[in-house]
């Protein structure tokens, strides 16, 4: 059982095997990835592990998947926790590559294989990410207006805001076109699931409708985690998960609590029982996610039943 680790940087890829001390370096471009792929294919590994690095890893991940190799893309926090468990506190590119190789070998059965998204989902994800960047830039520019006193600078800032608003509108139109063919009745059955929420979930959470309620809640990071030890009983907390999905679910839950009667009653019942407002809202986020997951699952099952037109 051979474990392979790849430490991904903007310029270089460091390749390591769990059973060898040597670490090889390749340039992170098309030619370097082709060389790395040739080496890895010859080894026939059982697992290849690399970290998510903000997009620098995507070309090599795509190449590995296309070659039908078992690649796992993990959260960097997982790698750091694994390193601390082994007593490794130093951090260099070769050390990280070897650490990931040992992780691939030791945790072989616990690592989830990466599944390439459909082409439309990858395109949608790029648009959703860009929209989030534009929205953040708009917020920053709007806040900075209050610090500008010179008329020429104010004029330039207003031009920037106008350009950003135009880009956001163009992105919204394109996102609406991309999601339209995939909006089944289940997606439109809950108030609070607007176009931005729908697009984010379609792009960033393709597992919806395929997992159990516990799995989908844990994947997003809205499942309450126990903090008990001996006689101590701690507060339940949420941790980890997919932050962009959790952020958009927060906004969706706010709308659902206001406009969807069942969510309004659920939220008020929790508040009446003494739950803090934020705890009650997180519970509504989880309820919304679980409900949508169940409806999508039932919808897909109905479509695959014999005799369905």
The Cα 99–Cα 102 span in angstroms is: 5
Residue 126, pLDDT score: 92
Is 187 contained in some domain?
Answer: no
Q: Is there a single domain that holds both residue 294 and residue 212?
A: yes
Are residue 162 and residue 250 in the same domain, yes or no?
no
Residue 233 is predicted with a pLDDT of: 63
Query: Does 241 lie in the same domain as 223?
Result: yes
For 78-137, the pLDDT digits (tens) are 899 899 988 888 889 999 999 999 999 999 888 888 888 889 999 999 999 999 999 999
Residue 227: predicted pLDDT: 66
CA distances from 272 to 43, 269, 294 (A): 61, 5, 27
Domain termination site, one of 110, 129, 154: 110
Please check whether residue 112 is in contact with residue 72, taking contact to mean a CB–CB distance below 8 angstroms. Answer: yes
What would the two tokens of residue 234 be? 């701690």
Rounded to 10 deg, the angle between the 58-66 and 30-43 helix axes is 40
- Copy the structure tokens of residue 84: 């601390």
Query: Looking at residue 1, what is its pLDDT?
Result: 82
Does residue 279 sit in the same domain as residue 240? yes
CA 120 to chain centroid = 17
**CB proximity list for 139: less than 8 A, separation 6 or greater:** none
pLDDT at 225: 66
Q: For residue 160, tell me if it sits in a domain.
A: yes
Give the whole-angstrom CA distance, residue 194 versus residue 202: 12
Residue 233 belongs to some domain of the structure: yes
Q: How many domains does the chain have?
A: 3
Distance CA 305, CA 235 (A): 43
- Which of 88, 110, 132 marks a domain boundary? 110
Which stretches of the chain score pLDDT less than 50?
none
Of 182, 211, 235, which closes a domain?
182
Tell me, yes or no, whether 292 lies in a domain: yes
Asked if the structure places residue 21 within a domain, the reply is yes
Shortest CA distance to 205 belongs to which of 297, 123, 289, 302? 289
Contact (Cβ atoms closer than 8 angstroms) between residue 225 and residue 239: yes
- Same domain, yes or no: 105 and 132: no
Instruction: Write down the pLDDT at residue 229.
Output: 61
Q: What is the pLDDT of residue 305?
A: 62
Whether 49 is covered by a domain: the verdict is: yes
Q: What is the CATH number of the domain that holds 18?
A: 3.30.420.10
Question: Is 60 inside a domain boundary?
Answer: yes
**Do 103 and 204 fall within a single domain?**
no
- Please give the Cα distance from 211 to 49 (Å, whole number): 23
What are φ and ψ of residue 184, in 5° steps?
Answer: -80, 170
Interior/surface letters 22-32, b for 16+ CB within 10 angstroms, e for the rest: ebebbebeeeb
Predicted local distance difference test score (pLDDT) of residue 206: 87
* Structural domain for 142, as ranges: 119-182
3-state secondary structure of 7: strand
**Could you report the per-residue pLDDT of 183-196, keeping only the tens digit for each?**
989 998 888 888 99
208 and 162, same structural domain? no
Question: In 46-108, which residue ranges form alpha helices assigned H by DSSP?
Answer: 58-66, 76-85, 93-106
Q: Cβ(208)–Cβ(217) under 8 Å?
A: no
Residues 101 and 129 both lie in one domain: no
> Which residues does 118 contact at the CB level (< 8 Å), separation at least 6?
206
Q: Are residues 283 and 254 in the same domain?
A: yes
HSE, CB side, 13 Å, CA atoms: give it for residue 24. Answer: 15
**What's the pLDDT at 90?**
86
Q: What whole-number distance in Å separates Cα of residue 228 and Cα of residue 218?
A: 18
Domain co-membership, 79 together with 46: yes
The verdict on 173 and 211 lying in the same domain is no
Confirm whether 290 is domain-assigned. yes
Residues 220 and 238 in one domain: yes
């Amino acid at each position: 059982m051979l474990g392979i680790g790849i430490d991904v940087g903007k310029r270089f890829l460091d390749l390591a095997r769990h059973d060898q001390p040597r670490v090889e370096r390749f340039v992170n471009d098309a030619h370097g990835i082709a060389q790395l792929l040739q080496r890895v294919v010859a080894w026939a590994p059982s697992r290849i592990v690399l970290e998510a690095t903000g997009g620098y890893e995507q070309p090599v991940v795509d190449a590995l998947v296309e070659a039908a190799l078992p690649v796992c893309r993990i959260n960097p926090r997982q790698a750091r926790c694994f390193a601390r468990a082994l007593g490794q506190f130093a951090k260099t590119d070769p050390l990280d590559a070897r650490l990931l190789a040992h992780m691939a070998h030791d945790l072989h059965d616990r690592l989830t294989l990466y599944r390439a998204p459909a082409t439309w989902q990858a395109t949608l994800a790029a648009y959703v990410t860009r929209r989030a960047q534009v929205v953040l830039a708009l917020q920053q520019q709007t806040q900075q207006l209050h610090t500008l006193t010179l008329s020429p600078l104010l004029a330039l800032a207003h031009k920037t805001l106008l350009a950003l608003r135009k880009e956001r509108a163009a992105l919204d139109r394109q996102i609406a076109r991309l999601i339209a063919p995939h909006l089944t009745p289940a997606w439109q059955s809950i108030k609070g699931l607007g176009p931005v929420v729908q697009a984010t979930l379609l792009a960033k959470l393709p597992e919806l409708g395929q997992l159990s309620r516990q799995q989908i809640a844990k994947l997003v990071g809205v499942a309450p985690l126990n903090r008990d030890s001996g006689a101590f009983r701690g507060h339940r907390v949420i941790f980890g998960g997919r932050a962009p999905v959790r952020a958009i679910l927060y906004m969706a839950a706010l709308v659902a609590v206001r406009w969807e009667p069942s969510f309004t009653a659920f939220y008020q019942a929790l508040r009446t029982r003494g739950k803090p407002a934020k705890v009650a809202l997180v519970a509504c986020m989880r309820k919304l996610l679980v409900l949508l997951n169940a409806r999508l699952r039932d919808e897909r099952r109905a479509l695959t039943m014999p005799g369905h037109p």
